[in-house]
C-alpha cells in the first residue's frame, strides 16, 4: 500500500484570479476602433473625422477641433482670461513652431493652470462632436501636429469614457436628439417653469434660426454645456426644434398635349398639302 505524504507547512498554490480591471479593459470596445489602434501603436498625427479632428502625440490626444464648438481663442478671450491682442501675438510669434501654448505661459500672458483648465474644457467639448457616430470613415495623417502644442495630453480611454458619459447624460435629460442640431423655437407653453439665469441667456437667443451650436458661439460657452441647457428646456416644454420644411411632392411626368382633332386625323405637325389633296380625291371618287 502506498501512502501519500504531505508537507503541511507548505501552503497549496493559489488559484488564478481573473483581473476584473483588465477584463473590463479588454471588453471595452471604445467609441472609435481606429482611435484605439492609434493609441496602442503610440501614433503621432491627426485623425480627421466627419465632425472634427483629434490630434495625437505618442498615442495620447493633445488637441481636438470641431466646427460645432467655439475655439480655444474664443473661450480664453471672451471672459477676459486673455486679451485678443495677446492671443494674436502668441500665434504670430510661436505658431510656426507649434508652441503657442508654451509661449503664452512663458511670456506671462496667462497662467499655466488657467491655460490647462480652459484647454481641457475645449478639448473634451470638441472631442464629443468629433467622435459622434458617422457613416463617413475617418483617416489619419501621420506626423501632423497642432500649432498650439501640447498642454496636457489626455489618454484615449479617458476621452472615450467621458464621451459616452456625456451621451448618457443628455439621454437621461431628454432622449430626443432633435434639439441638438435643429433651429430652436419658443414652444409658447403657458405653463413654462422658471428657468435659471444660465438657461435664460440661452432662451434670449432662441429665434427659430439659431441652433444650439450657434447659441454656444454667441455666448462663448462650450457647446456641450449649451446642449445640456437646451435639452433641459426641451424636457420642460420651453423650447422645441423647428419642424423641417415639408418635402415637395414628386413632379408628375410631362404628358403630351391632348389633341382635339377627330379620330384618324394627323396632328398639325404632320399635315402635308399633298396628303390633303389625295384625301380630297379619295372622298370625291367614293361619292361617285
Compute the average pLDDT of residues 6-15. 50
CB burial readout 203-217, b (16+ within 10 A) else e = bebbeeebbbbbbbb
Residue 6 has pLDDT above 70, yes or no: no
The verdict on 48 and 165 lying in the same domain is: yes
Q: How far apart are CA 269 and CA 272, in angstroms?
A: 9
Looking at the fold, whether 36 and 109 belong to one and the same domain comes out as yes
Kindly state whether residues 66 and 118 are assigned to the same domain.
Answer: yes
pLDDT for 28 equals: 43
The confidence score (pLDDT) of residue 84 equals 86
Cα(35)–Cα(56) distance, integer angstroms: 9
Co-location of 231 and 164 in the same domain: no
Question: Do 196 and 234 have their domain in common?
Answer: yes
**Counted domains in the chain:** 2
Looking at the fold, whether 117 and 168 belong to one and the same domain comes out as: yes
| Predicted confidence (pLDDT) per residue in 276-287, tens digit | 666 666 666 665
23 pLDDT above the threshold of 80: no
pLDDT band at 24 (very low <50, low <70, confident <90, very high): very low
| Phi, psi dihedral angles at 196 (to 5 degrees) | -75, 170
Q: Are residues 90 and 147 in the same domain?
A: yes
Given this model, what pLDDT does residue 238 score? 93
What's the rounded Cα separation, in Å, for the pair 181 and 68?
A: 10
Instruction: Express each pLDDT in 31-72 by its tens digit.
Output: 899 999 999 999 999 999 999 999 999 999 999 999 999 999
- Cβ neighbors of 182 (< 8 A, separation 6 or more) are 211, 241, 242, 244
DSSP 179-236: HHHS-EEE---TTPPP--HHHHHHHTT-SSS--HHHHHHHHT--HHHHHHHHHHHHHT
Higher pLDDT, 199 or 260: 199
For residue 119, pLDDT beyond 70: yes
pLDDT at 12 over 80: no
Give residue 2's pLDDT.
Answer: 47
H-type alpha helices, 95-155: 100-106, 112-130
| Residue 8, in any domain of the structure | no
pLDDT band at 194 (very low <50, low <70, confident <90, very high): confident
- The overall average pLDDT reported for the chain is 82
What's the pTM value of the predicted model, to 2 decimals?
0.74
pLDDT at residue 14 is higher than 60: no
- Identify the band that residue 4 occupies on the pLDDT scale cut at 50, 70 and 90: very low
Q: Which of 28, 121, 23 is nearest to 81 (CA)?
A: 121
Residue of 70 and 13 predicted with greater confidence: 70
Condensed to tens digits (0 to 9), the pLDDT of residues 230-264 reads 999 999 999 999 986 655 565 555 555 555 555 55
Please, which residues have CB within 8 angstroms of residue 241's CB and are 6 or more apart in sequence? 178, 179, 182, 183, 184, 185, 234
Q: Residue 119 and residue 73: Cα distance in Å, rounded?
A: 10
Which residue range is the domain that position 195 belongs to?
Answer: 178-241
Query: Do 95 and 214 share a domain, yes or no?
Result: no
Given a cut of 50, is residue 21 above it in pLDDT? no
Q: What are the Cα distances from residue 117, in Å, to 59, 76, 122, 124, 251?
A: 21, 10, 9, 11, 56
The answer as to whether 14 is a domain residue is: no
Both 193 and 151 in a single domain? no
Same domain, 39 and 164: yes
- Check whether residue 35 and residue 160 sit in a common domain: yes
Average the pLDDT over each of 19-28, 101-110, 116-125, 184-193 and give the range with the smallest value. Answer: 19-28
Residues 79 and 193 in one domain: no
Amino acid at each position: 500500500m502506498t501512502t501519500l505524504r504531505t508537507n503541511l507547512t507548505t501552503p497549496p498554490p493559489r488559484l488564478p484570479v481573473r483581473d476584473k480591471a483588465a477584463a473590463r479593459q479588454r471588453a471595452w470596445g471604445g467609441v472609435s476602433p481606429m482611435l484605439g489602434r492609434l493609441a496602442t501603436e503610440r501614433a503621432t498625427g491627426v485623425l480627421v473625422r466627419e465632425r472634427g479632428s483629434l490630434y495625437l502625440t505618442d498615442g495620447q490626444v493633445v488637441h481636438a477641433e470641431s466646427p460645432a464648438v467655439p475655439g480655444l481663442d474664443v473661450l480664453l478671450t471672451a471672459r477676459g482670461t486673455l486679451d485678443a491682442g495677446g492671443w494674436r501675438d502668441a500665434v504670430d510669434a510661436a505658431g510656426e513652431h507649434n508652441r503657442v501654448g508654451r509661449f503664452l505661459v512663458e511670456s506671462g500672458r496667462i497662467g499655466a493652470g488657467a491655460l490647462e483648465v480652459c484647454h481641457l474644457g475645449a478639448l473634451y467639448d470638441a472631442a464629443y462632436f468629433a467622435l459622434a457616430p458617422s457613416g463617413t470613415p475617418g483617416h489619419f495623417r501621420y506626423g501632423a501636429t497642432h500649432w498650439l502644442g501640447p498642454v496636457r495630453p489626455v489618454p484615449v480611454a479617458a476621452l472615450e469614457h467621458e464621451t459616452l458619459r456625456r451621451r448618457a447624460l443628455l439621454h437621461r435629460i431628454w432622449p430626443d436628439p432633435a434639439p441638438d442640431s435643429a433651429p430652436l423655437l419658443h414652444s409658447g407653453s403657458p405653463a413654462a417653469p422658471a428657468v435659471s439665469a444660465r438657461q435664460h441667456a440661452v432662451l434670449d437667443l432662441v429665434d427659430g434660426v439659431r441652433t444650439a451650436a450657434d447659441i454656444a458661439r454667441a455666448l462663448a460657452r462650450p457647446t456641450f454645456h449649451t446642449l445640456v441647457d437646451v435639452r433641459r428646456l426641451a424636457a420642460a416644454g420651453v423650447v422645441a426644434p423647428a419642424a423641417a420644411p415639408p418635402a415637395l411632392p414628386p413632379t408628375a411626368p410631362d404628358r403630351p398635349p391632348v389633341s382635339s382633332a377627330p379620330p384618324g386625323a394627323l396632328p398639325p405637325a404632320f399635315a402635308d398639302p399633298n396628303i390633303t389633296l389625295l384625301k380630297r380625291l379619295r372622298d370625291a371618287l367614293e361619292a361617285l
